[in-house]
Amino acid sequence: MLDIKNWSIEWGGRTLSIETGRFALQANATCTVRYGDTVIMATIVQSDSVREGIDYFPLMVDFEEKLYAAGKIKGSRFIKREGRPTDEAILSGRVIDRAIRPLFDERVRNDVQVVITALSVDGENDAAIVGLVAASCVVHMSAVPWGGPIGAARIGRVNGEFILNITSDKLGESDLDLVVAGTPEKLVMVEAGAKEVKEDDMFEAIKWGCEQLKPLIDLIERVRAEAGVEKLALPDFANDLGLIEDNVEEKVRKISQEFVASVSDTMIFDSIKVSKKERKEMIDKIKEALKVHLVEKGFEEDTHNAGLKNLKEYIAFEITKRILERDQRLDGRKLTEIRELQSSIDLLPRTHGSAMFMRGDTQVLSIATLGAPGDVQTLDTMEEDGTKRYMHHYNDAPYTYGEAGFMRGPGRRAIGHGALAERALEPVLPSVEDFPYTIRVVSEVLGSNGSSSMASTCGSSMTLMAAGVPIKKSVAGIAMGLASDESGNWKILTDLQDIEDGKGGMDFKIAGTRDGITALQMDTKTQGLNWDLVKKTISQAYDARLEILSVMENTIAEPQAMSKYAPRIETIIIDPEKIRDVIGPGGKVINKIIDDTGVQIDIEQDGRVMITSNDGEGMAKARKIIEELTKEVMAGEEYDGEVVRIMDFGAFVQVLPGKDGMVHVSEIAWERVEKPGDVLKIGQKVRVKVKEIDDMGRINLSMKALLPQPEGYMPPAPRPPRTGGSGSGGRSGGFKKPFNKNRR
């Protein structure tokens, strides 16, 4: 029998309910969370065995996006089941991972896997937020040691008012899209996109969001009290991991840490180490000295790894200690000082735009490509439909870190970094009406040592300007770090780099313009940040951002002319009723224009026709064809037409593509013409004038109106009426009888 239990609260104007005992009973713990009609299942499983030879906590967090949850079937004709995770699923998984990971005990070496599965989504309540709530609940219910629970919420702001768990339909009105995770007392994770929100307003939004989490946290505590299991005690857990005091490996670790502390002055802070290469050489020297020290202490070589694998952690501890005690950084910088900045543009001859941004050892080359409106990315995910016109892709490689390794394409980290920089630039992009191009920026990370994502933001801003994209303002980003200890002491670090990002640290990335924040993201290696720390970080980051913007603006301050290699787009506004004339049956007309001119054509429902081409001649030809296809013929206009049909009573002349008019036999010449075929033939080019458009929309033309009237001209005698036929009767000069509609 199923032992189903339910709990619920009213939160943010909707019911949030948690259920246990119905699904996935083989997992160590399971729950489902429902908010609106969005239902997310979370499971946690901890392996029974310890993974040997690793120096990190092996946590896996996966967000499973299911199309059935949204009532969709995959758009591909050949593959209908879900494949590799979409970027959206990866980003949702990363948000959840960054929120729950800091609260685990990092000494754990058992595999722990948290799987969040979307069972139903309503398109209004964000599945990632519901998934984070479910993850917090299921981990707290389980036996795995954890410092939670935490809550999570999405905050918007409309007309200056904060909105808890803003729905997707209201998000377009909001100048803020903020995700917070933590408690009312501390911030554990934050991520946001914003339309130049002021620093003070952003801080208030983050704090307000966390204050709204108390009812949710109380609910999760109730669930654990009634359906959870007893947590494994950390001492027992340590015994299971072989971490007891009498264990040889623990002794090696202790002696190794004491050794690193003893050489802090002579091997770590003996000199200023500016480059990553210098710091790597320092670590290698300490490693060799530690090996000798362990041998002298009587430890066998096969036990050394217990200390060696944690060497960077011990060095980072000494660096943190020195920062807290003396404000001393390893590279000699002040706590608020940025590393050397370099930037340049137009480095590549044939790309549409390029820029290089370098901060210390971190170097990023960003390249912009402009495409036609039809080059947009089609979105077909569980929660997203439609198109995307601006894309930022982040690439790194083993050489980026001075290493050799396999090239497997972008991983979760690269996708996350690319999305962050993309979000930072979105608020300053021109509207599609002002700049109809599809825009792709690729950031190639050529060297990484501290926040390549923020360097990508800076590089993207400059390359967009170099490509001629009229962005509203320059955008820069900076990563802020933290040195803290268990006694509650802390110092904020501007421009975080590799070896400063240790235990007790944070990586708080903040991007924006001179006028406000456009994106931020934070994860931490602490149990959470207090509000004084958060406020100081945001303020200190603003000063750094202004300094970086000044360097960027010295390189390029405003958009320059577009590259001659970039395509040009001309926009024609036509009557929406004429769209079908341009497309033609089955796309026959538009495809012929494309084939004949080599352009790309995109048509919007409001009548905007956008022609994209690198060939000016082809663009002009296509424009002329479209204008002719959609032009309204007016009385009095003159055209060079082509005879397309000859009848007894006159000739039909094509004046525009798809538009014919009739020249009555009496309008061909001033002199009498017995039969149109006597003077005209199919395919003949003739000059005609529009006499009138009758009330049925038929075009009546004249050739003789463009010819000089002969001197002494006398109208020809009336034609005799036709006999024995069903025609419309003859016509003579000076007399006009409406022609039979059926003859057209």
H or E element: which one contains 168?
helix 168-171
For tokens 């083993």, name the residue: 398
Token pair, residue 98, equals: 């960054």
Rounded Cα gap, residues 116 and 172, in angstroms: 27
Cα angle value 715/719/724 (rounded, 5°): 170
Please answer whether residues 457 and 477 qualify as being in contact, where contact means their C-beta atoms are separated by less than 8 angstroms.
Answer: yes
The candidate with the shortest Cα–Cα distance to 453, out of 414, 400, 397, 401, is: 414
Q: What is the dihedral of CA 140, 142, 144, 150, to 10 degrees?
A: -10
Chain centre distance of CA 57: 30
**Token pair belonging to 88:** 């959206």
Q: In the block, which residue shows the tokens 């595999």?
A: 111
CB 681 within 8 A of CB 673: no
Two tokens, residue 615: 């060939």
- Residue 501 assigned to a binding site: yes
Measured CA to CA, the distance from residue 327 to residue 169 in angstroms comes to 48
All residues at 6 or more sequence positions from 409 whose CB lies less than 8 Å from its CB, including other chains? none
Nearest to 411 by CA among 30, 93, 743, 740: 93
Alpha helices, DSSP H, located in 674-743: none
∠ at Cα 402 (399, 407), nearest 5°? Answer: 30
Q: What does the alpha-carbon distance between residue 133 and residue 64 come to, in Å, rounded to a whole number?
A: 15
Of residues 203, 204, 176, the one with CA closest to residue 192: 176
Largest CA distance in the chain: 131
Phi, psi of 717 (to 5 degrees): -65, 150
As annotated, the binding site includes 501, 507
Known binding positions for Mg(2+) = 501, 507
